[in-house]
């Protein structure tokens, strides 16, 4: 099966770099589960709109007006976004580099806002080292919408069975698998490495 795989598709958040909104939001919890749940619901809804391509600053301003009790945390989210996007998951980057050294094309497929992706690339320039980045904010589509997977196939020129996909979310992996991609739900770099080795992709142990 290893010879069948021709392209490798990586999610970014929680695969290559940790995505931890709690780095900011935990500072504002008052100990009330209902309050923290409400805040999480607000930020998840807000972030989804940003991932779909709406302007980062404008969306946050709208949510501050809509939820004034969360103004402080949302301003912190806006001004210190990079604090939530760290640290790098070094082991995954090592796998990625080994695949590149083997001459394999590598792609990023990530739900990410336009402005936040550019900010992330400023702090992690290696995010620009993929053969191509499929970023939801620019495409107007988010995973697990099947159309975004179709775009990867069209742009890469590979058939579904020729793509290996790494993502931390079950729903994203499920859609990829249903299309015929070889999907790996990411939990840690060693399990990813072991999976690739089991498929005949001979990486370092």
pLDDT exceeds 90 at position 196? yes
List for the chain the helix, strand, coil content (%; round to 5).
60, 15, 25
Q: What are the structural domain ranges in the chain?
A: 2-16+89-198, 23-84
Paired strand residues for 8: 106, 164
Share of the chain above pLDDT 90, in %: 88
pTM of the model: 0.94
- pLDDT for res 34: 54
- pLDDT for res 204: 77
The per-residue pLDDT for range 37-86, each reduced to its tens digit, is 689 899 999 999 999 999 999 999 999 999 999 999 999 999 999 999 99
The per-residue pLDDT for range 96-132, each reduced to its tens digit, is 999 999 999 999 999 999 999 999 999 999 999 999 9
Q: Distance from CA of residue 98 to its chain's centroid?
A: 20
**What class has domain 2-16+89-198?**
alpha beta
**Whole-number Cα distances in Å, 90 to 15, 44, 95, 172, 178:** 10, 26, 9, 22, 30
């Amino acid at each position: 099966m290893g010879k069948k795989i021709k392209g490798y598709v990586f999610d970014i958040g929680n695969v290559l770099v940790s995505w931890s909104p709690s780095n900011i939001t935990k500072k504002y919890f008052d100990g009330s589960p209902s309050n923290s749940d409400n805040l999480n619901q607000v930020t998840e809804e807000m972030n989804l709109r940003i991932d779909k391509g709406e302007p980062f600053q404008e969306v946050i301003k709208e949510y501050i007006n809509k939820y004034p009790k969360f103004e402080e945390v949302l301003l912190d989210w806006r001004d210190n976004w990079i604090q939530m996007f760290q640290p790098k998951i070094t082991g995954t980057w090592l796998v990625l580099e080994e695949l590149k050294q083997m001459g394999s094309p590598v792609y990023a497929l990530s739900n990410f806002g336009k402005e936040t992706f550019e900010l992330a690339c400023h702090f992690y320039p290696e995010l620009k080292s993929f053969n191509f980045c499929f970023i939801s904010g620019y495409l107007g589509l988010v995973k697990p919408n099947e159309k975004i997977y179709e775009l990867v196939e069209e742009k890469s020129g590979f058939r579904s069975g020729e793509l290996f996909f790494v993502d931390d979310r079950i729903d994203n992996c499920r859609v990829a698998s249903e299309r015929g991609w070889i999907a790996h739900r990411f939990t840690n770099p060693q399990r990813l490495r072991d999976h690739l080795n089991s498929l005949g992709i001979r990486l370092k142990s």
